[in-house]
Amino acid sequence: MTSVTVITPTGCIGNRGIDADVFRQVIESEQPDVIAVDAGSADCGPWYLGSGRAHSPRRNIEWDISVLLDHAVSRGIPVIIGSAGGSGTRAHVDATVETISRLARQRNLKFRMAAIYADVDPDYILAKQQGGQIAGASRSPDGAGLLAADVRTSDTIVGLMGVGPMIDALDAGAAVVVAGRAVDAAVIASRPVQLGLDIGLSYHMGDIMECAESCAEEIAPTLRSRGRNRIPIIGRITENAFELRPGLDTLACSPESCLMHSAYERTDLSTIKVPEGLVDRSKARYERVDANTTRVSGSRFVPEPHSILFEGVRKIGYRSVFAFGVRTPGIIAQLPEILREVDAIEQGLFGSEGSFRIHWHQYGRQAVLGPAEFASGAYEVGVLADVVADTQDLAHDVAYDLLTRIGFWRYPGRYTTAGNIAVTLSPAVLDGGPVYEFSIYHSMPVADYREIFRTEIVEVQ
Amino acid sequence: MSAGAVMDRVRVLRSKNAGPYALTFDIVLRDQADFERIAAGLKAEKVASAYRIPVENVLGTGRIDELSAFKISIMRRVPAGHVGDSDCYGMNQEQPLTRLVIRLLEGDT
């Protein structure tokens, strides 16, 4: 009977750090067929996809990659990294390839590495245009259509790959696969599928273990006191079932914790949409094997025409921010009106130099929930002013002008004639650079994934 | 009964992004009867009213009977990380739903 063991050492490369001792122990005891790990997400917002920058600290990324090199690559165990670098663009993949190459050379390791690029040319999508709409494109999860204009104004577009490109890279003899944007579960599923196991079951396993120990519960307090506290999950899959357990005995993959992770970050509980089809897990069984282990079986794969989810962002301007607090009852009461008034004055003063918008986060007054807030009353309010303008220079000047204008605004009943607000920082205004927003989050039929995903081989020596 | 005591009957009540355009909420009850009360009472209209959004922006529901868990999702007012969004990961949007769940558990529908 074919049995494939996958170890996922962390939910995201660079995120809090892999516990190296636990990882080494499970590598030695399990002799896994692959290490499969995700490195990215759209969760952190559009900026990372637009900027090509990482959302994890460089020190943590280098820590995790060093752990993978020292304990897996050095033993000849294949390593697959998906959504490399944070958002899986060419810049993210190249940065990851560079880091791996540099750290590998320091260790005198030699191996074949595959870089899979997930970047999409807007013209590829625009070719499917019909009357200003992209045919067959459907936004997740509400099914909204995609305008050709939204494709044209996108600065960066990536596609989320399924198992195909990663299997091709393994078939080409890659010891390390650095994949651009990928479906989290596909990173884990690709090696079992390559070795002949069921694609639906492999995806189902990947879907539960993609966030490493997040799918496990603590039997005894374990994680909070550890610095590098990402703990591996071991997935062992056969023809008709898979078993999951954590790398530490004080954690457990219970039927409940595995089911609970199935609900994480998704609207649909019964199916998982993947590029190759649909994983129907409505009849899946979750059985406890021992104190730490759960066996899952019974999910069913429903093939569908191959489709890809595309993520795109566009640059909308440049940001400057400043923060201040107010404690005087009079200005707390009048602040919403004051902010509206200074906003209008600012447009009159600088509107001819370019467009800009100001969003006021008023902490203590509906900042977190917005119009859904039901509580009222604050003894102090913290304001984060978010100014986004056509240029950095304009955003910066509008922000400073706003700060002094509010600081010395003569509101009715004012007795604080030396100034109104508690300015948090010096310099008061921080420039945040380019600002992005999502422009595409749509699935589309794609007959052959090779139309999108391109692989380059790098020999590390 | 105080809100704290009612919330002792709730194991999990959480919010999170489901992609940049949607928020999804998971509610896990400790007790089968409470689960049925929530599953029956948590109508789209009530959730729409709690979040002050149109009812068509409430997406489907789901349940995991083995866990006494119930899911409901909504479209975001502002997509994640766009200018004006206040909760990029959607991790702290559960309070209006929490208030609704407390009312349902107290039998005040």
The predicted-structure confidence for A175-232, as pLDDT tens digits, reads as follows 999 999 999 999 999 999 999 999 999 999 999 999 999 999 999 999 999 999 999 9
pLDDT band, very low/low/confident/very high, at B1 (cuts 50, 70, 90): low
Looking at the structure of chain B, the number of domains it has is 1
Residue A422 pLDDT exceeds 60: yes
Distance (Å, whole) CA A82 – CA A41:
10
The ipTM (two decimal places) reads 0.94
Between B95-105 and B32-41, two packed helices, what is the crossing angle to 10 degrees? Answer: 120
**Which residue would you say has higher pLDDT here, A269 or A182?**
A182
pLDDT of amino acid A263? 86
Residue A360 pLDDT exceeds 60: yes
Residues from chain A contacting residue B24 (CB–CB below 8 Å): 263, 265-267
For chain B, say whether A282 makes contact (Cβ under 8 Å). no
**Residue A428: CB atoms within 10 Å:** 17
- Strand positions, DSSP E, A305-412: 307-326, 356-363, 381-389
Residue B4 pLDDT exceeds 90: no
Q: How far is B3 from chain A (nearest CA, A)?
A: 15
Q: How far is A44 from chain B (nearest CA, A)?
A: 6
For chain A, say whether B96 makes contact (Cβ under 8 Å). yes
- Please calculate the CA angle A320-A321-A327 and round it to the nearest 5 degrees: 155
Note whether A361 contacts B16, CB cutoff 8 Å: no
A101 is written with which tokens?
């190459």
For chain A, say whether B22 makes contact (Cβ under 8 Å). yes
Residues from chain A contacting residue B53 (CB–CB below 8 Å): 372
Written in H, E and C, the secondary structure of A263-284 is: CCCCCCCCEEEECCEEEECCCC
Distance (Å, whole) CA A18 – CA A227:
9
For chain B, say whether A456 makes contact (Cβ under 8 Å). no
Q: How far is B31 from chain A (nearest CA, A)?
A: 14
Amino acid at A19: D
Residue A153: Cβ-neighbour burial (10 angstroms; 0-12, 13-18, 19+): middle
pLDDT of amino acid A249? 97
Q: Give the SS3 label for residue A7.
A: strand
A27 is written with which tokens?
């590598």
Note whether A371 contacts B77, CB cutoff 8 Å: yes
Distance (Å, whole) CA A128 – CA A139:
16
pLDDT band, very low/low/confident/very high, at B109 (cuts 50, 70, 90): low
pLDDT of amino acid A169? 98
pLDDT of amino acid A372? 97
Q: Kindly state the percentage of chain A with pLDDT values over 90.
A: 97
Residue B92 pLDDT exceeds 80: yes
Q: Kindly state the percentage of chain A with pLDDT values over 70.
A: 100
Task: Work out the mean pLDDT of chain A and round it to a whole number.
Answer: 97
Looking at the DSSP bridge assignments, the partners of residue A274 are A277
Q: Which of B96, B103, B93 is nearest to B38 (CA)?
A: B103
Q: How far is B92 from chain A (nearest CA, A)?
A: 8
Distance (Å, whole) CA A371 – CA B53:
9
Mutation for B interface: A437, A442, A443, most B CBs within 10 A:
A437
A348 is written with which tokens?
């009159």
pLDDT band, very low/low/confident/very high, at A376 (cuts 50, 70, 90): very high
Identify whether the C-beta of residue A271 lies closer than 8 Å to the C-beta of residue A280.
Answer: yes
Residue A103 pLDDT exceeds 90: yes
Residue B108 pLDDT exceeds 80: no
pLDDT band, very low/low/confident/very high, at A99 (cuts 50, 70, 90): very high
Q: Which of A214, A215, A197, A199 is nearest to A272 (CA)?
A: A199
The predicted-structure confidence for A319-343, as pLDDT tens digits, reads as follows 999 999 999 999 999 999 999 999 9
Q: Kindly state the percentage of chain B with pLDDT values over 90.
A: 89
Mutation for A interface: B23, B86, B95, most A CBs within 10 A:
B86
For chain A, say whether B3 makes contact (Cβ under 8 Å). no
Q: Which of B101, B67, B92, B102 is nearest to B15 (CA)?
A: B92
Q: How far is B33 from chain A (nearest CA, A)?
A: 18
- Domain assignment of residue B84, given as a range: 3-105
Q: Which of A413, A350, A57 is nearest to A228 (CA)?
A: A57
Weakest mean pLDDT among A25-29, A42-46, A77-81, A157-161: A42-46
B107 is written with which tokens?
């039998």
Residue of A nearest to B92 (CA): A368
For chain A, say whether B18 makes contact (Cβ under 8 Å). yes
For chain A, say whether B54 makes contact (Cβ under 8 Å). no
Note whether A267 contacts B16, CB cutoff 8 Å: no
pLDDT band, very low/low/confident/very high, at B2 (cuts 50, 70, 90): low
Q: How far is B69 from chain A (nearest CA, A)?
A: 8
Distance (Å, whole) CA A7 – CA A32:
7
φ/ψ region of B80 (left if φ > 0, alpha if ψ in -120 to 50, else beta) reads beta
